[in-house]
Chains A and B, each alone.
Chain A
Amino acid sequence: MRIKHLAVTGAAIVGIMAVPAPAFADDPSPAPAVNTAGTSFLTAVSITANQPVQVGAVTGDYLYWQFNASAGQRPEATATVNLPDGRTGDESWIIEVFDGLRRRQACVAGEQSPVATKDAAQVTLGCRLRQVRSWAEPQDGDPLPGTYYVRLSSTQTPEKDLGLPLKVGLTLGTPDGDLDADQGELAAPLVPNNQPGAVLTAPAPSASADPDAEKSSFSADWLPDFSGRWFWTAGGGIIAALTGLFGFSLTRRRRRA
């Protein structure tokens, strides 16, 4: 009985801690629709998840958008292109996603480069990224938190069809993946540094040339970030305690008998 009581108490403690969680769920207020697209990486138009994008464009345009993704998300872009009438041949379309360093990111799902036949009325494209990691080796190409660029274009078009007007719709989803799979943290997200460059004559002095600052500040680096692992570990401790009590009781019961 006592063991059962303990187990219930343990579950209740975890349960109480869990109750406020739904309050943190994302707010449902939809962002206003976007009806522009950039024409280069620098002029890419910012969009957010679930924000409707409807743009008028022409065949041959390169359309750019950008969004922010954070660790644990699995960004997915889906585009629909309403093609013009009177085309003279097939068109190949492509949706590409680049990270903040303009590195191409692999799509793991979605129709990334479909071919629209001559009489197709519309073509649908999609690209889902791998899960955004919280940290990666500098030499790795893993998706990292920061800015992402989406480029929608046609890679092969009959020359005669260039310039024909069309309509493009885009939706972006950022569902959460496995949230506590990662360790490590990126010191700064991959956000492009958009300031005009300057050619130096001598190396700039180090910005972090203050050795005292590091010593005085309290550091809690050894403590892992909050994640599901805390619950697994704490829960494991509780289970271990319970099985420990059970094991202890086994040795006593035999003696009574």
Chain B
Amino acid sequence: MIHKSLSIVVATGLISAATLLGAAAPAFADETEPSEPPRVELVLDVSGSMKAADIAGETRIAVAKRAFNKVVDALPETTQLGIRVLGATYSGNNKRVACKDTQQITPVGPVNRTQAKNAIATLKPTGYTPIGLALRKAADDLGDTGSVRRIVLITDGEDTCTPPDPCEVARELAAQGTHLVIDTLGLTPDEKTRKQLVCISTATGGTYAAAKSEEELTDRVQQLVDRAALPPPVQPAVVTGTADCTNAPLLAPGVYTDREKLSEHRFYRVAVQPDQELRASVSIGLDRAVNPDYGVLLKASTPDGRELVRGVDAGAGRTDVLSAGLRWSADEQKADAKASAEAADDDAAADAVDDTSTDVCLIVSNSFAAVAATAATAPGMPVELSIDLVDASHAPDAPGLGRGFLFLLVLAIAGLLAGILAGWVTRYWVATWREN
């Protein structure tokens, strides 16, 4: 027992030291160089309804202005921020004019605090709520510099200029493949506003929050701006999967993004060297309302359709993405091919098997079902595909060392028998030696 506890202490100590060293390494291994700073635009509703004095006795616009000032004060220097308003100037009743009423009051760039605050101070709640148009314009303001783009939409009421439906606009903007996320914030929202804002944020992979006090509003805007200042570690490359394997795009290790319609499947190809392991994972984002039970399948197969391995996940209820992953290495397949080539006495073929890479087809399919007919149509749901090729791991041999009390008992009995045997042999040998 002493042996056991002592040895376990040693093993624990050494192994935890080794794992501490080992575990620290991967975390720092894939630092990427700083890319373009992320760009953010705050879109503020200054429509007539913002006059309502229902936040602790103050008007919504007064609270929003104070919250904005606090956020502007706390902005990090590197953030590229712009501010756009909607419904701020036209007070008439001509809907056509009122629904074009949106202006950018601070251009996207390093923030000039005084200028931004002055611009905010002059705002007066006035007109309609053209959210759809404001989102389109905000996406234009942010431009397409390749960096992450985030819009923070703050409104107290639903769009009063439909069509276009702002939710459709959001999905259309997200589908342009230009890394746009819209976060929405409802100021004391009613049911219709909430539904619309949830739809807008879901369509772009953003978040929705409700604010009923100045503190909640400030905290959330602050959090969203901070979050926008931390870009994701990678900008996925845009790729388009095909309907069969032969024409599928050949992918290098990395992260990709694509769009897949409901109940569609798409093919991609990866060339795997014989000594490599393929690792693939896929996430499909739920950017629209779908029926509550769903699934996603990632399958690897040979170009002629033989399945190699599959990753699958299914679920029910609300979720943002559904993911599946798989590992596959050519090890066994190579061994099989080599064995059959050698059996056929064909050295050249056996050597060739060693060097050629295997094309593996990856098939991404989903089993989402649309709630509404419009949801089934283009653009498809966002797909994030991640491919990696690493050295293949080899199956371990049988253990070379033993463990456990049964093992000790067997050794002890073997030792005992060996000792007795040695004793007898010695006795016999001594006896015969004495006789002679």
B195 contacts chain A at the CB level, 8 A cutoff: yes
Alpha-carbon separation in the docked complex, A101 to B387 (Å): 9
Against B, the Cβ 8 Å flags (1 = close, 0 = not) of A38-63 are 01111100100000000010101110
Segment 187-240 of B: residues with Cβ below 8 Å from A: 189, 191, 194-195, 198, 205, 207-210, 216, 219-220, 223, 226-227, 230, 232-237, 239
Known: A41-B321, A197-B236. A101 touches B10 (CB 8 A): no
Bound Cα distance from A39 to B2, whole angstroms: 50
Q: Mark A236-247, 1 if CB is under 8 A from B, else 0.
A: 110111111111
Contact: B23 with A159, CB < 8 Å?
Answer: no
Main secondary structure of the interface of B (DSSP, over half): mixed
Decide yes or no: A138 and B423 within 8 Å by CB, A14-B7, A101-B281, A195-B30 being known contacts: no
A168 → chain B closest CB, angstroms: 13
Is residue B325 within 8 Å, beta carbon to beta carbon, of the partner chain? Answer: yes
Q: A147-B26, A163-B194, A197-B387 in contact; A99/B325 too (CB < 8 A)?
A: yes
Q: How far is the CB of A125 from chain B (nearest CB, A)?
A: 15
Contact of B411 among A39, A198, A239 (CB under 8 A): A239
The one of B2, B210, B327, B416 in contact with A138, judged by C-beta atoms closer than 8 angstroms, is: B327
Report the separation of the CA atoms of residues A205 and B265 in the bound assembly, to the nearest whole angstrom: 29
A178-228 interface with B by 8 A CB criterion: 179-180, 183-204, 206-208, 222-224, 226-228
Q: Evaluate contact between B16 and A176: CB separation under 8 angstroms.
A: yes
In-complex Cβ contact of A247 among B2, B198, B319, B416 (8 A): B416
Q: Is the CB of A56 within 8 A of B27?
A: no
**Distance, CA A190 to CA B23, complexed state (A):** 11
Residues of A within 8 A of B76 (CB): none
B residues in contact with A222, CB < 8 Å: 400
Report yes or no: A40 in contact with B205, Cβ–Cβ below 8 A: yes
Contact B6 A14 (CB under 8 A): yes
A36 to B223, CA, bound (A): 9
Q: How far is the CA of A219 from the CA of B398 in the complex (A)?
A: 18
Min CB–CB distance B146 → chain A (angstroms): 10
Report the bound CA distance from A231 to B7 in whole Å. 6
Set B19, B208, B239: member contacting A163, Cβ < 8 A: B208
CB of A195 within 8 A of CB of B255, answer yes
Which of the residues A163, A176, A235, A251 comes within 8 Å of B12, measured between beta carbons? A176
Residue B15 CB within 8 A of the other chain = yes
Q: Is the CB of A231 within 8 A of B237?
A: no
Given contacts A155-B317, A184-B396, contact A194 B234 (CB under 8 A): yes
Interface string of B234-273 (1 = CB under 8 A from A): 1111010000000001111111100000000000000101
Q: B232, B239, B249, B384: which has the most chain A beta carbons within 10 Å?
A: B232
Are A236 and B7 interface neighbours, CB within 8 A? Answer: no
CB distance from A159 to the nearest CB of B (A): 7
- Provide the B419-432 mask, 1 if CB < 8 A to any CB of A, else 0: 11111101100000
Instruction: Tell me the number of A-to-B contacts counted with CB atoms below 8 Å.
Output: 357
B contact residues around A223 at 8 Å (CB): 400
By a CB distance below 8 angstroms, the chain B residues around A99 are: 325
B283 touches A102 (CB 8 A): yes
Contact A184-B393, Cβ < 8 Å, known A26-B20, A157-B318, A252-B423: yes
Contact with A along B392-436 (1 / 0, CB 8 A): 111111111111100110011111111111111011000000000
Q: CB-CB < 8 A to A25: which residues of B?
A: 13, 16
Assess the A187–B392 pair: CB atoms within 8 A: yes
Within 8 A of A (CB), among B149-178: none
Please name all residues of chain B whose beta carbon is closer than 8 Å to the beta carbon of A185 when the two chains form the complex: 393, 396
Q: Which residue of A lies closest to B253 (CB)?
A: A193
Are B388 and A192 neighbours in the complex by a CB distance under 8 Å?
yes
Q: How far is the CB of B162 from chain A (nearest CB, A)?
A: 20
| Chain B contacts for A184, CB-based, 8 A | 393-396
Whether, in the assembled complex, A31 has its beta carbon less than 8 Å from a beta carbon of chain B, the answer is no
Query: In whole angstroms, what is the CA distance A162 to B391 when docked?
Result: 46
A8-47 at interface with B (beta carbon < 8 Å): 11, 14-15, 17-18, 20-26, 36, 39-43, 46
Instruction: Kindly report which residue of chain B lies nearest to residue A201, judged by CB atoms.
Output: B250
State whether B15 touches A179 (Cβ < 8 A): yes
Q: Contacting B422 at CB < 8 Å: which of A40, A204, A248? A: A248
Q: Which residues of A contact B271 (CB under 8 A)?
A: 200, 203-204
Enumerate chain A residues within 8 angstroms of B208, measured Cβ to Cβ: 58, 60, 162-163
A249-B236 contact given A92-B317, A232-B404, CB 8 Å threshold: no
Nearest A residue to B216 via CB reads A165
CA distance A201 to B3 in the complex (A): 61
List of A residues within 8 angstroms of B137 by Cβ: none
Q: In the assembled complex, which residues on chain B have CB atoms less than 8 Å from the CB atom of A157?
A: 318
- Asked whether B416 lies within 8 Å of A21 as measured between CB atoms, the reply is no
Residues of A close to B327: CB separation below 8 A: 101, 138-139
Known: A101-B280, A184-B393. A138 touches B194 (CB 8 A): no
Instruction: Pick the residue among A20, A186, A241 that contacts B393 (CB under 8 A).
Output: A186
Instruction: Say yes or no: is A68 at the interface (Cβ < 8 Å to chain B).
Output: yes
Contact of B255 with A196 in the complex, beta carbons under 8 Å: yes
Smallest CB-CB separation from A27: which chain B residue? B20
Q: Are A251 and B15 in contact (CB under 8 A)?
A: no
In the bound assembly, the distance between CA atoms of A107 and B13 in angstroms comes to 27
Answer yes or no: B337 CB below 8 A from chain A CBs.
no
Contacts A24-B14, A193-B30 given; 20 further ones with Cβ under 8 A? A56-B223, A58-B208, A60-B198, A68-B26, A139-B309, A139-B327, A153-B319, A155-B316, A163-B198, A179-B12, A183-B398, A184-B393, A189-B26, A191-B26, A195-B253, A195-B255, A206-B357, A228-B8, A232-B7, A249-B423
**What are 25 A-B residue pairs whose CB atoms fall within 8 Å in the complex?**
A18-B7, A21-B10, A24-B16, A25-B16, A61-B207, A62-B320, A72-B19, A101-B281, A104-B313, A155-B317, A165-B216, A176-B16, A180-B403, A183-B398, A188-B391, A193-B254, A195-B253, A196-B235, A197-B255, A199-B251, A200-B271, A203-B271, A233-B407, A240-B415, A251-B427
Using CB atoms and an 8 Å cutoff, list the residues of chain A in contact with chain B: 11, 14-15, 17-18, 20-26, 36, 39-43, 46, 56, 58, 60-62, 68-73, 92, 98-99, 101-104, 135, 137-139, 145-147, 153-157, 159-160, 162-165, 176, 179-180, 183-204, 206-208, 222-224, 226-233, 235-237, 239-252, 255
Q: Which 7 pairs from chain A and chain B are nearest by CB?
A: A247-B419, A251-B423, A101-B325, A184-B396, A240-B415, A197-B254, A163-B210
